[in-house]
Amino acid sequence: MGALRRLAGGIDALTDFVGRWSAWLCLGIVALLFLQIPLREIVHSGHIVANDIGQIVHSAFFIVGIPFAMRYDAHVRVDIFFNRFSARTRAAIDLGGTLLFLLPWLVLLGWYALPIVLNSVKELEEFPETYTPGYFIIKLELAVFVGLVGLQALATIARSTLVMLAPAARRET
Confidence of residue 32 (pLDDT cuts 50, 70, 90): confident
Q: Which residues pair with 133 in a beta bridge?
A: 126
What angle (nearest 5°) sits at the alpha carbon of residue 51, between those of residues 34 and 106? 115
Nearest to 69 by CA among 23, 38, 29: 23
Secondary structure (H, E, C), the chain: CHHHHHHHHHHHHHHHHHHHHHCCHHHHHHHHHHHHHHHHHCCCCCCHHHHHHHHHHHHHHHHHHHHHHHHCCCCCCCHHHHCCCCHHHHHHHHHHHHHHHHHHHHHHHHHHHHHHHHHHHHHCCECCCCCCECHHHHHHHHHHHHHHHHHHHHHHHHHHHHHHHCCHHHHCC
CB 72 within 8 A of CB 154: no
Confidence of residue 137 (pLDDT cuts 50, 70, 90): very high
Whether residue 6 has pLDDT greater than 80? yes
Confidence of residue 13 (pLDDT cuts 50, 70, 90): very high
Mean pLDDT of the chain, nearest integer: 87
Confidence of residue 45 (pLDDT cuts 50, 70, 90): low
The pLDDT assigned to 37 comes to 75
Most confident option among 121-130, 144-153, 160-169: 144-153
The pLDDT assigned to 81 comes to 79
Task: Report how far residue 125's alpha carbon sits from residue 114's, in angstroms, rounded to the nearest whole number.
Answer: 15
Whether residue 129 has pLDDT greater than 60? yes
Whether residue 171 has pLDDT greater than 70? no
CB 151 within 8 A of CB 14: yes
Least confident of 24-33, 73-82, 119-128, 150-159: 73-82
Task: Report how far residue 38's alpha carbon sits from residue 154's, in angstroms, rounded to the nearest whole number.
Answer: 45
14 by Cβ neighbours in 10 Å (0-12 / 13-18 / 19+) ranks as: middle
CB 20 within 8 A of CB 56: no
The pLDDT assigned to 168 comes to 65
Segment 77-121, tens digit of pLDDT: 767 777 788 899 999 999 999 999 999 999 999 999 999 999 999
